[in-house]
Structure 1
Amino acid sequence: MKRTPFPSSPSLIQDDSPIRVIACLKKIDDMRRFEETEDCFILGFDPSLPVPPSFDSSVPHHDADDVAVVAEKGQVACRDYPHSRHLCLKFPFHTTPHESYCEMCYCYVCDSAAPCKNWTIFSHCHAENVVHWKNQRKANRIKTQTQ
């Protein structure tokens, strides 16, 4: 093996050997950085497998106090099971017309599938878990029990 010093710095030794250090990447997150700087590197993982969701700190977050859902698994109660209209996830109560409903919504007052017969006539579509609608619900239950 022949070693020759660099002309600019006599303390450094130039190695003419074809053997070099090759990096072995363990995480896919490092791949982009190494692709930009290295000609050759070894992957210690299968790049064709799906990448698990992770928090990317390089993406600017404008609403740092908010929560972001990146994945979900299984059933969601207020979407996949029967729920009162005011709890619906498909049609959020405070941002969509109250007359809207999904296939799993039911009337808070009548305890029947939405839309009930009083959905728009007596405004049952606006019912939520507050004193006025709780009283309406109690009255409706008493009325149906006495019939």
Structure 2
Amino acid sequence: MITSHPLSPLSPSSPILPLFPSPSSGELFMADRRLKEAQFCIAEAIALSPNSYSVLLQRGRLAELRGQLDDAKGLYDEALAIHPTGERTLVHMGLLLVKTERTQLGEKVLRDAVQVHSTSHEAWSGLGEALQSQGSSQAPDCFLTALELEASCPIRPFTIIPREL
């Protein structure tokens, strides 16, 4: 059985922040709608690497969760300027564009994400959302593809295994 460290953000009973906050810690807090803790983690990550595309992505996510959609779009734009094929940035940008009723541009960004990251269930699901918002008959196919890909998606990316060993 895998247990989390008591100082980990994964520990539901611990209000203590992790010893070394990171953008990924911020993601966990944002998923739990703990925006103040997420802001702390992101601020620490900014101090270490202010121009990192992953830090810009997390800042954009936080702005989006706070309803600051123009700020979020600007931060996603900056992240894409640094890493134009960033899967998660493309997906979040595309979904933000759909949310702000720029559905055709959002669809284009999500189609780009699917083209570059054809095995990304998030990209396929996002494209399905964009197409569904336009009433397209292609939306169910995108959702089905997303479900099939998600079934074979690892819980943690294989690229982080060496760092955790």
Q: State TM-score, norm by structure 2.
A: 0.22
More helix by share: 2
More strand by share: 1
Q: State TM-score, norm by structure 1.
A: 0.24
Give 1 or 2 for the bigger CA radius of gyration: 1
